[in-house]
Structure 1
Amino acid sequence: MTDALIFDFDGLLMDTESTLLESWRYEWRQHGLDLAVEGFFADHGGDVNEQRYARLAAAVGVSYDRALSHSRRTAYREKLHAGLEPAPGIRDWIEQAAGLRLAVASSSHVDWVRGNLGRVGLLDAFEVIAGGNEVAGHKPDPAVYRLALERLGIGPEHAVAFEDTPHGVAAAQAAGLRCVAVPNAFTPVTRFATADLVLAGAAGNPLRTVLGKLS
């Protein structure tokens, strides 16, 4: 019996992956450079922005101002977020989840998750939010999913996870959860072979139908 749904945040509930990439593309353009998508996204849930700044610094040379670069990039990303809505179909899923408990298990800081969900009016829908700053290991480490389950007070057999990356799927399954993959735009669908179910998106897929396919 499914009692709870546990969602990844970045790239799943909201497409913050695209705003992240675009903010870095913007910053590279300030130096007359182009940023390639290949290799931009890490195969784990940890923060790799310091490596990204180091890569840009190496490309720019001695004139690179790290503090200015960070300030300009994050300000631009905030402008992008001002109009960012939940991913298509996510509001419908939350409405259709009546009777189920909802949680977030994210590699991002809890303040980031709460702030973005609060801005779009969805924060109160989630009973539990577990963040990467609260655990020692990041996805594919299952620690954040185990924390979410602990806070829900249920075993993994009573919950379903939703993820947009292969390392997220691996983390959920390592915690004993069934996992529905909704691949983000930057990851080939072929990398989600281990997911219990793969969907093109939340839109057009009623939640109860999705859960029924897992039974």
Structure 2
Amino acid sequence: MNAPRRPRRAVIFDVDGTLVDSERHGHRVAFNAAFAAAGLPHRWGAEEYGRLLRITGGRRRIAAWLEETGLGAEEAAVLAAGLHKDKTERFRVLVEQGRIPARPGVHDLIDRLAGVGVTLAVATTGSREWVEPLLDGLFEPGTFETVVTGTDVPLLKPDPAVYHDVLARLGLGPEAALAVEDSENGLRAALGAGLRCVVVTNDYTRGQDFTGALAVAQDFAGVGALFDAWSSVSRAARER
């Protein structure tokens, strides 16, 4: 007699600032290099970049900042598109050089979840051009069953579109999944899709409003126990 099949559960990870420590010494460096290559005097310091991270999507971030400097919206949008394309290529090179590390504790958590049969997925507003090589370089093939990026969805976080897409591809309702984010925008996207969300903050996002999060932690140390508890409660509830 076959054993009863366990209900499927999933954990859906954000990438930037969550799976990887990528903002201060990754994206910001690539943005500034793109500005320099275009002959622009602009440089984003660490503090200013933290403020700009409130705007999701690199192209939107550049355009909004250019408008702050006095450019009209149309001119800013055109210039931002070219700068963002160059920035993405420069960031992809950093990824391929292995200069974007996984956050401490991420691999242990992923191994722990995979070991109890939890499906893993990714929901990010980052471009597929760099997300795929980053995941391929840091994780074993097939670690993530589904990867949805900002290249795949028209609306970026805090809009929940990317999470709706991931859930549809997995064939799961939000009650069967848990999101992991690092920022207020990411949390709002997850909650908007009906997901419960664990927030693991970083230096840029610490202090944001995480009302509604299932839990908020400063790092991945000790988070495994929380996921074990969720996994057990989720399984028991669905098997009743």
User: Is the TM value for this pair above 0.5?
Assistant: yes
- 1:18-37 correspondence runs (5 A): 18=24, 19-25=26-32, 34-36=43-45, 37=47
Tell me what 1:207 maps to.
Answer: 224
- 1:39-50 correspondence runs (5 A): 39-45=51-57, 47-50=59-62
Answer whether contact 1:4 1:100 (CA < 8 A) is retained.
yes
Gaps of 5+ in 1: 60-64
The 3 A distance-change label for structure 1 pair 27 and 58 is: farther
Is 1:140 the counterpart of 2:158? The answer is yes
Answer whether contact 1:46 1:107 (CA < 8 A) is retained.
no
Shift of 1:2: 7.1
CA distance in 2, matches of 1:89, 1:79: 25
Tell me what 1:169 maps to.
Answer: 187
Is 1:156 the counterpart of 2:174? The answer is yes
Answer whether contact 2:88 2:129 (CA < 8 A) is retained.
no
Shift of 1:107: 1.2
Identity in percent:
31
CA distance in 1, matches of 2:211, 2:83: 39
Is 1:113 the counterpart of 2:131? The answer is yes
Q: Secondary structure at the match of 1:124?
A: coil
Answer whether contact 2:92 2:129 (CA < 8 A) is retained.
no
The one of 183, 186, 198 aligned to 1:180: 198
The 3 A distance-change label for structure 1 pair 67 and 12 is: closer
CA distance in 2, matches of 1:213, 1:95: 16
CA distance in 1, matches of 2:141, 2:124: 14
Tell me what 1:62 maps to.
Answer: none
CA distance in 2, matches of 1:66, 1:143: 23
CA distance in 2, matches of 1:176, 1:71: 33
User: How many residues are aligned here?
Assistant: 209
Is 1:86 the counterpart of 2:93? The answer is no
- The answer to which of 77-86 and 105-114 deviates more is 77-86
Answer whether contact 2:60 2:80 (CA < 8 A) is retained.
no
Deviations 1:4-57 (A, max 9, x none): 100111111112222112333456678666534333213435642541784698
CA distance in 1, matches of 2:128, 2:81: 24
The 3 A distance-change label for structure 1 pair 50 and 114 is: same
CA distance in 2, matches of 1:150, 1:115: 24
Deviations 1:146-165 (A, max 9, x none): 11011111110011000011
Shift of 1:120: 2.1
Tell me what 1:11 maps to.
Answer: 17
Q: Secondary structure at the match of 2:157?
A: coil
The 3 A distance-change label for structure 1 pair 188 and 2 is: farther
CA distance in 2, matches of 1:90, 1:128: 18
Deviations 1:46-87 (A, max 9, x none): 64254178469879xxxxx99997787556545543222211
Compute the TM-score of the two structures, normalised by the length of structure 2: 0.72
Gaps of 5+ in 2: 1-6, 72-78, 234-240
Tell me what 2:112 maps to.
Answer: 96
- The answer to which of 94-103 and 66-75 deviates more is 66-75
- Root mean square deviation, CA, Å: 3.3
The one of 63, 82, 98 aligned to 1:51: 63
Larger Rg: 2
